[in-house]
Amino acid sequence: MRKSLMLAVAGSIAFAGPARADSLEITPVLIQMVGGERTATITITNPDDVPTNVQIRPLDWSQPDGADSYVESAVLMVSPPAVQIGPGESQVIRLVVDNLPEIQAERSFRVMIDQIPRESPPQGAGIRTAIRALVPVFLAPSAAAKPNLSWRAEMDGAELRISASNAGASREKIIDLRIFVDGQEVTRAPLAGYVLSGATRVWTVSDVPASARSVRVTGEGDWGEVEVDVPITP
């Protein structure tokens, strides 16, 4: 099922006075290509009653230090890279993966969509706020590609670092990630995030008792529930 995302405020300018939020509708909110597929589309709709300018940039997505990192892509192309969308109108953005040989593990990208705020708000009241979306784009070697996670826990000063390493050929998306010590939850709020193929994702948790020797990790992944006991590495 194709899903649509209505974007709200992603950032604003520090300024006295009221702020006005623009909006965009983006479909789909995730793109999956498999095997020999190398093309896809994103539709951006402007539901407002005034024109809006949008910039679109393709990014390579990796996790070199346990966190998401983005650089301009040399293999994912978008067309057009910038566009003005009229009131109530839509624009189709074409994506093409080029100069990429056959892959053995999933490649991950993001399409960064920036709505450029108008300099002059209607009636001169307040300011406009900028909107940014990062649409995930995945290219998997086959429909059978799956993640394969291993977990590690270690103390870093007063903080606990929980890491998930993915040796599988596909990413895993984890939500509602919670950490327990002796049956008591130590996460102040549920954690979440992608673990890309061939990468490691790190989460940091405070308030872990110094006497703790292991933690229980629970959560929900695209490929099933997460429930694992992880010893804490000294």
- Report the CATH number that the domain containing residue 128 is assigned in CATH: 2.60.40.10
pLDDT less than 50: residues of the chain: 1-21
Write the DSSP symbol of residue 143: T
Q: What pTM value is reported for the model?
A: 0.86
Per the structure, how many domains does the chain have?
2
Residues 20 and 108 in one domain: yes
The residue among 84, 115, 140 that closes a domain is 140
**Which pLDDT score is estimated for 19?**
38
- If asked whether residues 86 and 106 sit together in one domain, one would say yes
Same domain? 127 vs 163:
no
Structural domain of 209: 149-233
Task: Mark whether 20 and 121 lie in a shared domain.
Answer: yes
For residue 118, what are the CA distances in angstroms to 12, 18, 128, 129, 136? 13, 15, 6, 9, 27
Residues 115 and 76 in one domain: yes
Phi, psi of 23 (to 5 degrees): -150, 155
124 with 46, same domain? yes
Pair (163, 213) in one structural domain: yes
Sign of CA dihedral 68, 71, 72, 75: negative
